[in-house]
A and B are shown apart, each in its own frame.
Chain A
Amino acid sequence: MLKKIIYTLGAFIFILPIILTVRNSFIDGGVFTINKYDELFFNCFSFYRAFWNSVIYTAVITLSALIIIIPAAFAFTQLRNRAMEIFFVFLIILMMMPLQVTLLPNYICLRDIGLLDTSLAIVLPAVFSPMYAVITIQYMRGIDTSVIDAVRLESSSVVRIITTAIVPQIRSCIFAVIVFAAAESWNMLEQPMNFLKNESLMPLNIFMSKAYQWEILFPAAVISLIPMLLLYGYFGNELKNGISAGGAYE
C-alpha cells in the first residue's frame, strides 16, 4: 500500500508540469477561457510555420535515420573484423559525448560546406546520430541468424535479406528508434539556435522560447505536446520491449 502511494506521488510529481501547462493554457485570471487558444490560432500566424517546420524536421530526420541505420547495423553485425570493432568503439565514444561538445565541430563543419542557415543544417547532424545506430546494432546482434542464412540460399540481394529476415525480427527496436529519434528531433533546441538565423526555418521550440506573450506560450506548449503523446500512444508498448530486449543482449 505504502509502495503504491509512493509510486503515485512520484508519478504525480513527474506529470505536474504537464498538468500546470494545460491548466494555465485554459485559465486566465482565475477564469476558465479559451481566449489564449483563440489568440494563438487566429492571431499568431508564425506559430503555424514553426509547427510545420518542426513536423517536417522530425519526419525527415526519423525516416532518414531509419533508412541509414538499418543497413549500417546489418553491416556491423555481419562484418566482424578488427576495423569494424574499432569503428564501433568510435561510435560508442561519439554516443557518450554530450551534444554541447559536438556542437562546435558540427558548426565549423556546416559553415565550411556552406550549409549554415539551411534546413539541412538541422537534419544532417541529427540523421547520423550514433545513439540509434548503437541501439540497433546491439539489438541486431541478438537476432536469429539462421533466418538470414535461409534467405541467403534464396537470394543474394542485401536489400532482400534486410527486408525479409532482419526488419521483421527487429520490429520493436525500430519502433524504439522511431520514438527516440522523433522525440529528440521534436525537442531539439541547441541546434536550431546555433545553426539557423532565418526565422522562417525555426522549429516550434525556438518559436516558444522567443514568444513574447505569455498568453500564447501555454497553448503553444500544449499543442507541441500532442504529437509526442500520439507517438507514444502508438509506439509506447513497442518502446518498452525495444529497450528491455536491447539491454538484454549487452
Chain B
Amino acid sequence: MNKFLNIFSAVFWLGMLILTAAAKPIHNNRLPHTEVMTVKKQDFVCTFSDDNGNVLTTPRRAVGIPGALPTEDIYVIIQEEVYGRTDILLRKPM
C-alpha cells in the first residue's frame, strides 16, 4: 500500500511539474510587433477578428497551442488566459 502511495505521489508531483514546465514557455514567448486582438470562444473553436470585424481565421484549436500557426501569414500566441477573459497576441509577419 505504502509503495503504491509513494509511486503514485511521485508520478503526480513529477507530472504536475512537467506539465507546468511545458505550459510556461508560452507566457514568455512574446514576440515583437504584436497587437492584442479579441477572441470569441465558442465550443473551443476560436474566431479571430481584427478591429473592423473582419474574420481573419478560424483555427481548429489555436488557444493552447504554443506558437500555433492558424494560417500561413498569421502567428497566434497566447498571452494570458485569466478566468474566462482570453487575451491573445497576434503577430503579423514582418
Interface residue from A199, A223, A230 paired with B82 (Cβ < 8 Å): A199
Q: Is B23's CB under 8 angstroms from A48's CB? A: yes
- In the complex, whether B52 has a CB less than 8 A from a CB of chain A is no
A210 CA / B81 CA spacing, docked (Å): 13
A32 contacts the other chain (CB 8 A) = no
Contact A212 B19 (CB under 8 A): no
Interface membership of chain A positions 37-53, coded 1 if the CB is closer than 8 angstroms to chain B and 0 otherwise = 00101111110100110
For window 50-83 of B, CB contacts with A under 8 Å fall at 61, 63-64, 78, 80-83
The CA of A212 and the CA of B82, in the complex, are separated in Å by 10
B92: Cβ under 8 A from any A Cβ = no
Contact A199 B64 (CB under 8 A): no
Within 8 A of B (CB), among A71-92: none
A114 located at the interface, meaning its Cβ lies under 8 Å from any Cβ of chain B in the complex: no
Interface residues of B in 23-40 (CB under 8 A from A): 23-24, 26-27
| Docked pose: A199 CA to B24 CA in angstroms | 17
Cα distance, A113 to B88, chains bound together (Å) = 37
Within the complex, the shortest CB–CB distance from A94 to chain B, in Å, comes to 34
Separation in Å of the A40 CB from the closest CB of chain B? 10
Expressed in whole angstroms, the minimum distance between the Cβ of A56 and any Cβ of chain B is 13
B64 touches A52 (CB 8 A): no
A194 vs B55: C-alpha distance when bound (angstroms): 40
| Inter-subunit contact A230/B84 (CB<8 Å) | no
Asked if A210 and B27 make an inter-chain contact with CB atoms under 8 angstroms apart, the answer reads no
Interchain CB contact under 8 A, B83 and A46: yes
- Which A residues are in CB contact (< 8 Å) with B8? 230
Taken residue by residue from 1 to 24, chain B's Cβ proximity to chain A (1 for < 8 Å, 0 otherwise) reads as 000010011001000100110011
Q: How far is the CB of A239 from chain B (nearest CB, A)?
A: 15
A106 to B82, CA, bound (A): 28
Q: Let me know if A226 is at the binding interface, CB within 8 A.
A: yes
A112 to B94 CA separation, bound complex (whole angstroms):
51
Q: Does A233 contact B (CB under 8 A)?
A: yes
In the complex, what residues of B have CB within 8 A of residue A233's CB? 5, 9
Taking the complex as formed, is A234 at the interface, i.e. its CB lies under 8 A from any CB of chain B?
yes
Count chain B CB atoms within 10 A of each CB in A44, A207, A213, A223 and give the residue with the most. A44
In the assembled complex, the Cα of A230 lies from the Cα of B6 at a distance in Å of 9
Q: Which residue of A41, A43, A51 contacts B63 across the interface (Cβ within 8 Å)?
A: A43
Q: Is the CB of B5 within 8 A of A230?
A: yes
**Does A68 make an interface contact (CB < 8 A)?**
no
* Contacts A39-B44, A42-B64 given; does A199 touch B83 at CB 8 Å: yes
Q: Which residues of A contact B (CB under 8 A)?
A: 39, 41-46, 48, 51-52, 199, 207, 210-213, 223, 226-227, 230, 233-234
Q: Could you show 17 A-B contacts with beta carbons less than 8 Å apart? A: A39-B44, A41-B19, A42-B23, A43-B61, A44-B64, A44-B81, A45-B23, A45-B64, A45-B81, A46-B81, A48-B23, A48-B24, A199-B83, A210-B84, A212-B84, A230-B5, A230-B12
Closest 3 CB pairs of A and B: A43-B64, A212-B84, A48-B20
